Amino acid sequence: MALLEVKDLQTSFRTDDGVVKAVSGVSFELDRGRTLGVVGESGSGKSVTFLSVMGLVEKRNSIVSGSVMFDGRELLGASTSELRKIRGSRIGMIFQDPMTSLNPVKRIGWQLEETVLLHNDVTRKEARKRAIDLLKEVEIPRADQRVDDYPHQFSGGMRQRVMIAMALINNPEVVIADEPTTALDVTTQAQILKLMQRLQEEHEMAIVMITHDLGVVAELADDVLVMYGGRVVEQAKVDDLFVKPEMPYTWGLLGSLPRPNVITTRLEQIPGQPPSLLHPPPGCAFHPRCEFVMNECRVELPELRPSTVGENHEFRCHLDEEARARIWARKRAAMMAEDAA
């Protein structure tokens, strides 16, 4: 049985303008020690999906339904105290912006110790020792001194290391990293990703890597979920996805990856805007931006269906097998020609 099994997760928010459906029927599985990459634009529902899994969406004006099984226990509808025991201890979280994700008026040592003390029956002294150990593990120099510093005394990359240390301090089975490198500069991004890879091997944990960067997914993930408009539009093992992406949105994502050998004045982009979740377009949510749009796309939402390449490779698209194969072959040939040029 999978460690984390999400079935038909739906999250809606009541707003003054109406109900916003942020997540509509997301299902996936995550096994121990695996890495799941979750890709999509801003507003595709990827962050909300995992905040819902953790029970961290604002309860007062939201509705969450479906099923979230963690290690055989249902988390949706579980009591707050039960969820609290899991948060920070069995599932750790790393957030996007390290500049604002740490409490500015508390020493980082205090914030790390808090995570230890919330879940373990240890003294503050022991918790402090653990905090210093973790800071050393995430390669913060002079950890035994820096533990008494405040967040503003750290750089962005160093703060994200502190966040990682905080997520790992209780040896969680799952770490959910919500765009952990988006707010960092490129060299720091690479360092943080390498660090996470190393820590994953040492701690044998599963990682959910939420990102809008397929490059990060290619480097770290075993499996990929591509999300669009609150739905999974394609899921696959990472190699299968890069071998045969099955739908236009994924093609667009792959096409907009910067490639080292291609010198262009501007990067490829997917035209148009992500869909409004308040008034989603009828049929396939991607159809207003899709260059291969057909009449039925405007009316009917395509179901997830299996691909011919790879196991558990599923996608949503009305295009038939022959058309998809032809289009992808053409796109890939064009990209390779550019790479070679």
Partner 1 sequence: MGYFLIRRIFWAIFLFFVATIVTYLIFFVIPSDPAKLIAGRNANAQDVARVARFYHLNIPVWQQYWIFLWNLIHKGSLGTSYITRQSVRWMIGQDAPVTASLVFGGAVFWLSLSIPIGILSALRPRSLMDRASMTFVLIGISAHPVWIGLILSFAIGYKLHLTPIAGYCNFFTGNAGASCSGPIQWAYHMILPWIVFMILFAALYVRLIRANVMETMSEDYVRTARAKGASERRVMIQHVLRNSMLPIVTILGMDIGLALGGAIFTEQIFNLPGLGRQIIQSYSVFDLPVIAGVICFATMAVIVFNFIVDVAYAFLDPRIRLT
Query: Which residues on neighbouring strands pair with residue 178, listed in sequence order?
Result: 210
Task: In whole angstroms, give the CA distance from residue 25 to residue 227.
Answer: 11
Q: At its nearest, how many Å lie between partner 1 and the CB of residue 43?
A: 18
Nearest to 134 by CA among 171, 103, 106, 180: 171
Q: At its nearest, how many Å lie between partner 1 and the CB of residue 169?
A: 9
Single residue of 14, 152, 279, 330 touching partner 1 by CB under 8 A: 152
Conformational region of residue 77, where left means phi above 0, alpha means psi within -120 to 50, and beta covers everything else: left
Instruction: Assess 59 for contact with partner 1 (CB under 8 A).
Output: no
Query: Which residues on neighbouring strands pair with residue 224, listed in sequence order?
Result: 37, 236
| Cα–chain center distance at 307 | 23
Written as one string, the DSSP assignment of 99-114 is TTSS-TTS-HHHHHHH
CA torsion through residues 231, 237, 238, 241, sign:
negative
Let me know the angle formed at the C-alpha of 305 by 302 and 307, rounded to the nearest 5 degrees: 130
Q: How many chain residues are in contact with partner 1, going by CB under 8 A?
A: 29
Task: In whole angstroms, give the CA distance from residue 196 to residue 178.
Answer: 13
Single residue of 21, 87, 231, 316 touching partner 1 by CB under 8 A: 87
Nearest to 161 by CA among 197, 182, 186, 192: 192
Cβ nearer to partner 1, comparing 90 with 129: 90
Instruction: Assess 93 for contact with partner 1 (CB under 8 A).
Output: yes
Q: At its nearest, how many Å lie between partner 1 and the CB of residue 37?
A: 20
Single residue of 76, 78, 118, 218 touching partner 1 by CB under 8 A: 118
Single residue of 29, 41, 97, 222 touching partner 1 by CB under 8 A: 97
Q: At its nearest, how many Å lie between partner 1 and the CB of residue 41?
A: 21
Stretch that binds partner 1, among 82-90, 199-207, 282-290, 311-319 (CB under 8 A): 82-90
Instruction: Assess 114 for contact with partner 1 (CB under 8 A).
Output: yes
**How many Cβ atoms sit within 10 Å of the Cβ of residue 165?**
28
Helix (DSSP H) and strand (DSSP E) numbers for the chain = 11, 12
Cβ nearer to partner 1, comparing 11 with 250: 11
- DSSP secondary structure code for residue 29 in this structure: E
Single residue of 84, 124, 203, 332 touching partner 1 by CB under 8 A: 84
Instruction: Assess 85 for contact with partner 1 (CB under 8 A).
Output: yes
The contact pattern for partner 1, residues 131-150, with x = CB under 8 A and - = no contact, is -------------------x
Q: At its nearest, how many Å lie between partner 1 and the CB of residue 53?
A: 11
Single residue of 39, 163, 195, 319 touching partner 1 by CB under 8 A: 163
Q: At its nearest, how many Å lie between partner 1 and the CB of residue 213?
A: 20
| Tokens found for residue 264 | 């262009």
Task: In whole angstroms, give the CA distance from residue 120 to residue 3.
Answer: 22
| Tokens found for residue 213 | 């960067």
| Cα–chain center distance at 243 | 21
**How many Cβ atoms sit within 10 Å of the Cβ of residue 62?**
17
CB 277 within 8 A of CB 230: yes
Cβ nearer to partner 1, comparing 87 with 324: 87
Stretch that binds partner 1, among 80-88, 202-210, 287-295, 323-331 (CB under 8 A): 80-88
Stretch that binds partner 1, among 26-34, 101-109, 203-211, 215-223 (CB under 8 A): 101-109
Single residue of 1, 16, 72, 104 touching partner 1 by CB under 8 A: 104
- DSSP secondary structure code for residue 259 in this structure: -
Instruction: Assess 297 for contact with partner 1 (CB under 8 A).
Output: no
Q: Interface with partner 1 by CB under 8 A: which residues? A: 54, 56, 80-81, 84-89, 92-93, 95, 97, 100-106, 114-115, 118-119, 150, 152, 163, 166
